[in-house]
Structure 1
Amino acid sequence: MSVINLAPLVIKDAVLQIGADQFEKAVSNVTFTPSANAVTWAGIGGNSFTDTSVATWQVSISYVQDWDTAGSLSQYLFANEGATVAGVFRPRSGSGPSFSVNLALTPGAIGGAGNATAEATVTLGLTGKPVIVPGTPVIPTVTGITPTGGGAAGGIQVKITGTKFTGATSVKFASTPATSFMVDSDSVIYAVAPAASIGVKAVTVTNATGISTVTTNYTVI
């Protein structure tokens, strides 16, 4: 018997594609739910049989209403009622699997309470069930830093931009670890530069897959 490790799901920097466009910026909740019914047969001899039907799936999407922006989720659902389109949901853009689905579209609510942000929740049917597409492990890339240098004493907060920062385990200036760092998003890390000798230091980010090979230099003066 194996001991199964645990990687709790935290939905962060998610991706929600419906049709050809991505709508995650408007969405606060995406929940796929299966539903199955019990199938029971009883014989006259006191015998019985119970099983469950094949589950049917639906997805509940909560989103902020936007009727001004062309192509918004509100407008898209309203304009494409009854259509069946492909969709992709990736709960965590930096790592992990995505779920491919075929969605039956229906419009969401219009309006709501005054002096409040108008939200809506819509339930869309699925054709079949979600298909899990395994995530591809990707090492981070560092494409920019601000500021690009600082004093030998360190202590300067540096904004690092790039890709695949979710789950980062280390930030280094050359071979010296950052004094501290915080992952702000899959594309932004804030790190405090360590004390270091004068010179050019390559800034690297490490995640569970490996160390960034695309990097940017920080100059200690």
Structure 2
Amino acid sequence: MASNLKESQKLTLRFLGDGPCGAVLVDANSSSMVRGYLQEPHVQLPPTSQGKLDVAGAVGKGMFVVSKDLGFGDPYSGQVPIQTGEIASDIAYYYAVSEQIPTAMGLGVLVKPDHSIQSAGGYLVQLMPGTSEEESAELEHRLHHLPSPTEMISEHPSADHLLYHLFNEDEVEILETRDVSFQCSCNRERLENIFGSMSSDDLSEMIQQDEPIETICHFCRERYVFLPEEIQRILNQKTPLK
């Protein structure tokens, strides 16, 4: 979804459901740097009747919110009710309703017995302007008869293999490839700015407790510790001595 962003633009997805995992948040930028977290990652649910992870049960009902920071003005946001709790189908629904773009999406994750991830991947297919009804019908037929994304990535975890399944014998021209990687943008300076946005009374209360303040990034679990004298410095910058 972030592949169409221009330089310095960002995309944020939020599933705000009432399921046991709480909020699900992911953001990405134009360089394909991605990060995300679950509000409650330690959720144990029995498999579905098909033996799959019960993602819908973990997410629950609520709203799906897409925000785009285009680098100027306020971020653009669109939201739709969560339809199924299955990530791929709800994103496709968002595109159809909020952006009026016919979309098909499939996601799969192969989990090892020790709960680590063996492979993960998926596809997002959208019709280009000028697509004929025959081409649309043929693509819909192929999508309907595709193996599950989990099956495809477990056999051959590559984008080329997914394209072969999607377009069969048709010649496919790959215009661009990108490496997607995790990167967190948290740093100490940003946290200092957050403290600086707090009220003087709140900062004074922290200082009076005379204990280090520990914060942990939700995305990367990086730990930051601020000593009382550092909080005092931030307070002094807010209310300089006369």
TM-score of Structure 1 vs Structure 2, range by shorter chain: under 0.3
Q: Which has the greater radius of gyration?
A: 1
TM score, norm. by length of structure 1: 0.26
Where relative contact order (Cα < 8 A, 6+ residues apart) is larger, the structure is 1
Return the structure number with greater helix share: 2
TM score, norm. by length of structure 2: 0.25
